[in-house]
Structure 1
């Protein structure tokens, strides 16, 4: 691949790949991120997106071409991989009208039955490309084209925590109460972000999510188990 390098203000460098949602691009970004973490000095944060990596520097850039030359050399240098294991997380979702605030409208708009929606939404193995918008909010690749729908023209002011939504070509989980422009089709009892934990979010870019359907009774049962700290999200090592 041949990513491009641009100055992003006076203290950041934006590195961009082709503008598409691709696992090949994701893996290239994650590998380059690991190389930078081990071989590049003078940065305080790295932020990834679907097709970009931004390096936030401690000091203003004085010689952009020199910095780019160093980064290109790092990019092209082989590295022994470490800690690039990824996991499949099993996430329960209740597709009930009580939680699917936009479910009726969505089904009517897409000319789908509830069973068809559940089957289509739970079938894929979704890839987490990056976390953003809200703390721990996973941007996922892999939504079936049949489920694509334009985002709301007028966003909702209060989308409840745990809401599972679809907007454009994406699906995701609102990790806290927030305004939002995606259509809410269900809800998960799983908390994706907890500021009180050493690692507030258990997800990371490159991991996978597999949704599975639960009943409303199961939703409240799992919620109760989580409150008592008796529930663990099922996960397994991902093998490509």
Structure 2
């Protein structure tokens, strides 16, 4: 099992920031999530929330007064002396995406910039298996790692004031989907008709950090059909269990 040199620091009067080496790495992410899940399972009475990112966790305690130094010492001991952490089951989610130019506002520009045909861009984007590193920016916005280097594209110099819900974009070395209409500066190359966030559900976002995403190209007609099923609550996202 991988062990990393971690740093521990006071973040507030009731929270501690634990940081791994500052790299976007599946091995680091796996270690982050294993330690997070271990703490949630074994310290659930004292911890009210753990928020994870690429290479860190923010631990918030439920006490009005926290002995930060004592808690840091406890965290160090738990991480350094661990024998094994329970692996959380993970899933591969297959997400339909329509790359039709009526949705793909920046696909032609990306094609010219990268000297790649549109079908080649679609192939590269949809063949990759993406890792969900964390969820943020907007509720249900999945930060995905694993984009083909040939598709890296800086964010737009002038962000748009309105991006449609379900817009699939590329921003730098990442790809992602806007779960709701919002301003945004990513390069839009398609649209997914499914819902990525529903506050009425016990688990508002179906995916979790550590899960994987693969995009499945669909044509415009299929996109509209899926959209209707989503509105009628008769669409089920295809998924399969994968090794952690």
What TM-score, normalized to structure 2?
A: 0.93
Q: What's 2:198 paired with?
A: 194
Aligned match of 1:156 in 160, 164, 184?
Answer: 160
CA RMSD of aligned residues (A): 1.5
Q: What's 2:86 paired with?
A: 81
Aligned ranges for residues 159-198 of structure 1 at < 5 Å? Answer: 159-198=163-202
Aligned ranges for residues 28-177 of structure 1 at < 5 Å? Answer: 28-40=31-43, 41-59=45-63, 62-76=66-80, 77-79=82-84, 81=86, 84-177=88-181
Q: What's 1:20 paired with?
A: 23
Aligned residues between the structures: 239
- Point out where structure 1 has 5 or more consecutive residues left out of the alignment: none
Distance across 1 between alignment mates of 2:41 and 2:84: 10
Distance across 1 between alignment mates of 2:118 and 2:151: 12
Aligned match of 2:10 in 7, 10, 19?
Answer: 7
C-alpha distance 192-78 of structure 1, shift in aligned 2 (>3 A): same
Aligned match of 1:215 in 208, 214, 219?
Answer: 219
Q: Which runs of 4+ in 1 moved over 2 A?
A: 38-43, 57-65, 76-80
What TM-score, normalized to structure 1?
A: 0.94
- Point out where structure 2 has 5 or more consecutive residues left out of the alignment: none
Alpha-carbon contact 2:97-2:215 (below 8 Å) kept: yes
